[in-house]
Amino acid sequence: MTDPLLRAHGLERTYQGAARTLAALRNVSIEVARGDWIAITGPSGCGKSTLLHLLGGLDRPDRGEVWLAGNRLDNRSESERALLRRRHVGFVFQFLNLVPTMTAVGNVELPLVLQGAGRREARSRALEALDELGVADVADAAPTELSGGQQQRVALARAVVHRPDVLLADEPTGALDSAAAENVVDLLRRRHEDGQSIVLVTHDHRFAAAADRVVTMLDGQLVDERDLTASGPRPAFTNLINLEG
């Protein structure tokens, strides 16, 4: 059997607060195979972002291991983790982290430029990604000139433009209206069909319902896991919106 693309085992992460020590993750293990689409849900503060950061090597656990594409990630230096991340991961942060001094298209070009793509190729692929998400018209705007929903879609375009093995997305749809949200789900579906793995943290059960597997967290632990593929094809996103009433 081949190794999963992403594997975390026995993760523990505590934060030292002013008044007390907080166990944000307690013995969390999860595997993401190539082509998996996993939604992580759970109440605010249960550890979803912390887990995503550890899976992407943005932070290191106090205990436990993270393996990405056959490489152990958690014991590497920051620069080694950054290299592995650049090669294999697309990340959408909760706070979008767009570079304020660059235009929207400049932000989206970044992962390609870092991988050594030529200027012309980087520009055309970045514009294509913006177009796929319905925000090509704001390509030359600065992040501060964009609405929250536009910024979210630019950040998502930047996360997928270099076709990473796995997309890790932290609440990528909070500021979107239904049409834009549908755009995003369509993009995720296409990338999933192309074999990209997706791990999506979301409070929105319509987004969770588009995934193959839904993992629920509570108080720093994984407490439930549901395989949605077992119940046959899922309704289209528009129908999920309509169900919402």
Ligand X SMILES: Nc1ncnc2c1ncn2[C@@H]1O[C@H](COP(=O)(O)OP(=O)(O)OP(=O)(O)O)[C@@H](O)[C@H]1O
Residue written as token pair 């290191």: 60
Nearest to 150 by CA among 134, 166, 161, 163: 134
Q: Is position 216 an interface residue for ligand X (rule: CB under 6 A)?
A: no
**What gap in Å lies between CA 46 and CA 137, rounded to an integer?**
38
Window 116 to 135, contacts with ligand X (CB under 6 A)? none
Length of the chain: 245
Pairing mode of beta strands 213-218, 197-201: unpaired
CB 42 to ligand X: min, Å:
6
Q: Which is nearer to ligand X, 171 or 182 (CB)?
A: 171
Q: Which is nearer to ligand X, 119 or 205 (CB)?
A: 205
Q: Is position 152 an interface residue for ligand X (rule: CB under 6 A)?
A: no
The two three-digit tokens of residue 68, written as one number: 């990405």
Q: Pick from 10, 15, 119, 195 the residue near ligand X by CB under 6 A.
A: 15
Q: Pick from 1, 2, 17, 20 the residue near ligand X by CB under 6 A.
A: 17
Q: Is position 39 an interface residue for ligand X (rule: CB under 6 A)?
A: no
* 93 Ramachandran zone, left/alpha/beta (phi>0; psi -120 to 50): beta
Window 43 to 102, contacts with ligand X (CB under 6 A)? 44-50
Task: Mark the segment that binds ligand X (CB under 6 A) among 38-46, 117-125, 156-164, 204-212.
Answer: 38-46
Longest dimension (CA), the chain: 53
CB 47 to ligand X: min, Å:
4
The two three-digit tokens of residue 65, written as one number: 């291991």
Which whole-number Å values give the CA distances from 85 to 28, 65, 81, 103, 225, in the listed order? Answer: 21, 16, 6, 23, 26
> How far, rounded to the nearest angstrom, does the alpha carbon of residue 141 sit from its chain's CA centroid?
24
Q: Is position 173 an interface residue for ligand X (rule: CB under 6 A)?
A: no
CB 37 to ligand X: min, Å:
19
Q: How many residues bind ligand X (CB under 6 A)?
A: 12
Residues that bind ligand X (CB under 6 A): 15, 17, 22, 24, 42, 44-50
